[in-house]
Amino acid sequence: MKTRWYKDSVFYQIYPRSFCDSNGDGIGDIKGIISKLDYLKSLGITAVWLSPCYKSPNDDNGYDISDYRDIMDEFGTLDDWKEMIEGMHKRGIKLVMDLVVNHTSDEHEWFKQSRSSIDNPYRDYYFWRKGSGKDGKKPPNNWTSRFGGSAWAYDEQTGEYYLHLFSKKQPDLNWDNPKVRQEVVDICNYWFELGVDGFRCDVIIYISKQEGLPNAKWNPFTCGDEYFVIGPHYHEYIHEINQKSWSKYDIMTVGEGQGITVADAESMVAEPREELDAIFTFEHQEADARMSVVPRKFKLSRFKKIMTSWQNIPNTCWNSLFLENHDYSRSIPRYIKPEFRKEGAKMLAVTMNFMKGTPYIFQGQEIGMTNIEHFKPKDYVDIVSKNVYKIAKKIFPLVPVVKWALQKRARDHARTPMQWSAEENAGFTTGTPWMYVNPNYKEINVAEAEADPDSVLNFYRKINKFRVGNKIIKDGTYNEFYAKSDKVFVYARELHGVSYLVAANWTHKVVEFDLPEQFKGKTSKLVMSNYFDSKEEAGDCNLMPYEAVVWEIK
């Protein structure tokens, strides 16, 4: 029976390579995760989203999978994994894994077989096409890879091109082949039988491609999107996987929905459709960017409009609430001036965690980890950052612009090692870390936060405890105030005559707050604040820099 347990959960995303290293090789691993399970429990976490830990040659840090049924050697063994999930379940923590099935690694046995000859039974597991042009030496169409360049790679062994919407070492699976879809069902059921509680489905909206793979309207960043984002058979294929696998277990699925808008919500996650349970959308993440790449000045009113539109989706749908993950730079300094790190991190926590939906905390977010102030080109390890910089060097005037953009938006910022203590390498490893450690680890780390009653970490503990099982937050209506303001984010959640009024100052200056008329003269009390001296009863007041308050009003 589906209990929809995720609607009462607080998730924590672990990026295993950067979380905790147990053996001194400089790479985070599963035993490192096991050593921190009590920490997760103390934080109030009830579910973990674990980024890929399967066997992989690591062209894209584990999102290029060579064996879906085993664990990456650098991370440990399947027995280690079993010990980890047992430890999570003993602590009341569920485990959601990454399901990466739009593509495999080119080192997966399926692809090795597929590229061996045009007559191989696995040939149709992927997209193979002859070249175009008079000499047949041009790619079959003009689609671009999300990582830059053509989405096609030429393979000399059979003289044909294969499709890869990401790295050339990540060939796309052909979901039109029913054998591929059955493979996905079998993979899901394999992990469910081992106790997994669900999947975060990576780039799942790309799985169905337009028949004939036609040329697209040219755009260096999105060329081809119209032919594979929620493609012609997407809903049919997801429903099939749901019926054959997902619906048979008390699990949850959340899809990655780059490009999805609120207009798509009901078709993607409405419960009667029996497809995905929830979806990550990125409209709010792109409120401070053009084309997902070039930063622009953040505007709160633009951000609020997006967030509010998602809060008002039908009740048959469910939201995912997040500001950070492995694909985006840190919230600080995207939204917050670094000198107000603690106040700002807490304000963001209040703003997001009183909304309707399932909240996701990305590792380090709970202690207010920040971007690295001065990344040097040699320090970037992410395939996207390296590819973008490589392209820029060919067009020299672009280099300063790209350096500036990467400093603000590079995925590397989120992937630096977790800062556990002020010890060498932030307590992440006793060896040489696989990636640059943020130099501010001596001031920003878990040990420091544990000792500080007013830390970001202890505030997250407070808010997580308050939120879990709270029916107003889970089921209450949502109503926004002062929508056009670029200074304050104000909204109310109401259920059975009781409201939580959330007022958050998103600036580094003191801001005047006027209590909405409908709440004046009513009984109220302060239930959450990131300042010690916030107003105890709801009313007009000055909100301090990045102050956030929540009043309960009857």
Q: Give the separation between CA 308 and CA 483, rounded to whole angstroms.
A: 9
In angstroms, what CA-CA distances link 448 with 13, 418, 444? 21, 13, 7
Vertex 474 angle, CA 469 and 477, to 5°: 145
CB environment 90-128: b (16+ within 10 A), e (fewer): eeebbbbbbbbbbbbbbbbebbeebbeeeeeebbebbbb
Q: Which of 225, 256, 382, 412 is catalytic?
A: 256
C-alpha angle 102-155-74 in degrees, rounded to nearest 5: 55
Longest dimension (CA), the chain: 80
Per the rule left: phi > 0, alpha: psi between -120 and 50, beta: everything else, 132 is: beta
Cβ-based neighbour number of residue 394 at 10 Å: 8
Q: Is 454 a catalytic residue?
A: no
At a CB cut-off of 8 Å and minimum separation 6, what does 442 contact?
422
Q: Amino acid identity, residue 67? A: D
Tell me whether residue 3 is exposed, middle or buried, using C-beta atoms within 10 angstroms of its C-beta: 0 to 12, 13 to 18, 19 or more: exposed
According to DSSP, the residues that pair with 489 across neighbouring strands are: 504
Count CB-CB contacts under 10 A for residue 507. Answer: 18
> 226 catalytic, yes or no?
no
- Burial 258-286, CB ≥16 within 10 A → b, else e: bbbebebbeebbbeebebbbbbbbbbbbb
Residue at token pair 């709160």: 300
The one catalytic residue among 98, 197, 202, 277: 202
Q: Which helix (H) or strand (E) holds 78?
A: helix 78-90
Which residues carry out catalysis?
A: 202, 256
